[in-house]
Chain A
Amino acid sequence: MNMQLTLASRYLLGRKLRTALTVLAIAFGVLLIYGLNSIMPSFQQAFQANAMALASQVDASITNRAGAAFPAATLARVTAIDGVRTAIGTLERSLGLPADFFDHDPATPDRVAAVTLMGGEPAALRSMATYPLEEGRFLEAGDADAVVITRSLAEAAGVGLGDTLRLPTTGGLAALTVVGLLPQRLLPGNEEALVTLGEAQRLLDLPGQINVIEVNFDSAEKARRDQIEANIRAALGPGFTIGVLQAGAELLNSIEMGQQMMNLLGILGLLMGGFIILNTFRTVVAERRRDIGLLRAVGASRRTVTGLILVESLLLGALGSVIGLALGFGLARLVTSALAPMYGQFLNLQIPLPGFMPGLALAAVGAGVGVTVLASLLPARAASRVTPLEALRPAIGPASLRKLTGVGFWSGVLMLALAVAALLTRSATWLSLGSLLFVLGLLLVSPALVTPIAALFGRLAALLFARDGTAQLAEGNLERQPSRAALTASTTMIGLAILVMSAGMISSISITFQRMLRTSLGSDYLLVPPAVATWGLSVGANPALAEELRAVDGVQVVSTLRFAGSQVGDLPISVLGIDPPAYEQTSGLTFDQGDPAAAYAQINAGRSVIVNGLLASGAGLKLGGTVNLLTATGETPYTVVGIGGDYLNAKLPTAYISQANIAADFGRREDVFYQINLKQGADPAAAEAAFKRLLQPYPQFKLVAGQAYIDQNLALFDAMFAGLYAMLIFLAIPSLIAMVNTLAIGVIERRREIGMLRAVGATRRQVRRVIVVEALILAAIGVAFGLLAGLYLGYMAVVALSAYGFSMDYAFPGSAIVVAIAAGLLFGVIAALIPARQAAGLPIVSALRFE
């Protein structure tokens, strides 16, 4: 072991560049895993802290499972339960604020993006928590238009004691007098505005309703508390949940999903790292056969030799992981500090800088070292099979081409065939299996294809710019080690495959959504709340506003959307209330199944529902079937009369019902979104002015011209493409490292040959060209496979998404393919820079002397 350590470190130090590149590859994977994983918990923590802060001093919070308000009388039922010491009912609502609400300056977003309006009986509130006033007084029963806020909110809003605080409500701007100031908030999170329960019910237009019951138990003992919780559950029935705040679950979910995505990226990075390491160690063993034979000849056992390689990989892995960890920590801090202001604004969360996470660090290092050691296992085994004879035999040029169309090749072909067959099944399970098979199949087939592809591109390069035999040399060099070339190309392939796949997906989604966009948002004007689609955070307006808008001169029709959260089984869904006759004129759903006219008629007629594809596939719904929507009063059956959706809600499982039903079953009368069409020949300027006037008390809405909104959304897709290209750059790094590594290894291996080339009269430029052409051919192979894999995967993803309920057309990502080819070849040239310089700069004599 000691000897192995000595040998391993000598070898590593003897090849500094290669060691550095390999370490870099591992570091990159670990960086991604650690960095990205430590960012998300920060966000989660912040969010949970926020939720906890709200629920801190109570034993349990009871909310409606659908997040709906419920009659204040429910409180009495809870109070009566055995074990409940105190219980209070409150009405709470997060009021999303437009970015320029307080300072009226769109350029600098307000620090406070949302305020939680909290209504409760003053006495009850104080029985649950202490409110240490800094100035003024607490609320008193019967207060009207009085509010108690924190000093931080007061500062943000620019108000003091006795001043008027304006907040958007469904009934227009509410003007409340600040009667008391609480200390500055210490914990980051939502700012609160305390009002009396009656005030809150009035402001939110929910007379006699509450939406949270907070409970203190009479015991701190675990068993007893569980008992009390069970009692509450029994008393209230399945419509209520205890503990978690329902509203936050959705957000936490998406945060978790983000984390999983990033993990995937990290694993991908590590996988590429694995490729690179495998590659490196294969070369290490190949070029050290004599040394290993010598070791064996002087008495090293097979185990010792295996150990030598493993120790080397262990050293590399450990070094790479530690560096990756440090970089990952830095990255996490960097990203958080860059993103925090943005999030702070959108969600009003203060994101703490991530601290060092020992558990995660351990896992990341474990993954890094594990992958390294695992990747070196095969080469280590190969090394142990070297016989002592190899030390005695003179080295023969490794140009013998192995038979490459062996079992691996044919099983690869089989996998590809199966993958294509999987496309035909259109079943999500088969499709995801198919994508795996396709990538694996390509990897298996690729070594055999290296030679013909290299020959093709070699000839091309020879024609284009390397007429002096250098292209031929480069081509020969690649053909000499086809499996290594394939392995290197496969890292490029993975990167580009992801790019082309995502491009295929996004352009397909984009085309489909653009079509939907034009149907859904085809009206002349839109009134848009601050948070589109996450309707729960937005403050809407009373039906009165819609009426006023309809009365404006020149308005032909106004249609609105109303929102309620619900569940189908365990699936959280959005329920939207639409008003079909008007809705059809301004907008429309894109139907997959069912007749639009009939469906609209039916939802107005009874408890009928149109569900979007996501919901249909998620809950297994069929046209004509029944779905049980969780309403404020329990589960209510609806008949499915159509499957279709609109642009804004395409990402969420959504049910469309009539506005009458959403009022009856969910108690929602609040409009969250408006679409307005003008009459033919109406004066737009006058209408706009009228709208603006009407909207003055409702600063939560922004008036947008329909076309402008569509353009904005299209810009969003452009941003998505930009993000895609950013991702490409990220993914390019490991493939770049892999290519640099392989080329550098090639240079190291062929020092003597290069020296000889120079001796027989190759100029530095010609030597450089050999390496560059080699890189270009490698890149071309990677690009070819990447395109193939990407196109397949993209098509597959679209088919799979259709299977999940997003029906869409496949769009061929032409521009992305051009970008991928350009980027792939560019990477090739960039990757060749260092090794080419190195090769050209080799002193001839030392290259010749090199043993």
Chain B
Amino acid sequence: MSVRNAFLGLLAQKPRHGYELRAAFEAIAGGGVNWDVKPAQVYATLDRLAEAGLVVCTSDLGEGDEPGRRVYALTEAGLAALRQWFDEGVEPEHQRDEFYIKLMVALASGAGDPHRILRTQRGLIYQRLHGLTTQRNALDARVALAQVLLLDKAIMHLEADLRWLEFVEARLGDIQRQPLPAPQVRARGRPKKGS
């Protein structure tokens, strides 16, 4: 979703080739290390956008039909879609957490050691944090402030994760003592799809 919208925005800046678009996106996102988009994904997205009439492919003269040679530009509808994106907030997403599920499953199944899982996660986050701080300190904030701030955001979230892990670890015993959340038994029928 955000890649799609970002492409719209970058095309609003000027019409671009697909590979050009990919490079511009990666630069803004703080480099391929942070967020890398495969070329296939770029073209698939562009195709979908063209299908929806948000972009048009203005093939360059004599450059053939290869996807790499195609130049894309924004349409009126595309601009409207971009405006709509700007007008809406971005939903923060924290409740759907893989680590949490992993821990709960371990607790429920008894197949994994929750302490071990916690430690592994903590170690991983610390390693990421170490990497991020190293990365961040290698940047010069006088010219790359935007990237520094992005890294700061990531660092702060990792810090928050670490604090949360500390809480979890401290209260693990209590969690284990409490009954695990059980599925609500319905009288009839299957639960609705998508819930």
A–B contact at 8 Å CB threshold (below) = no
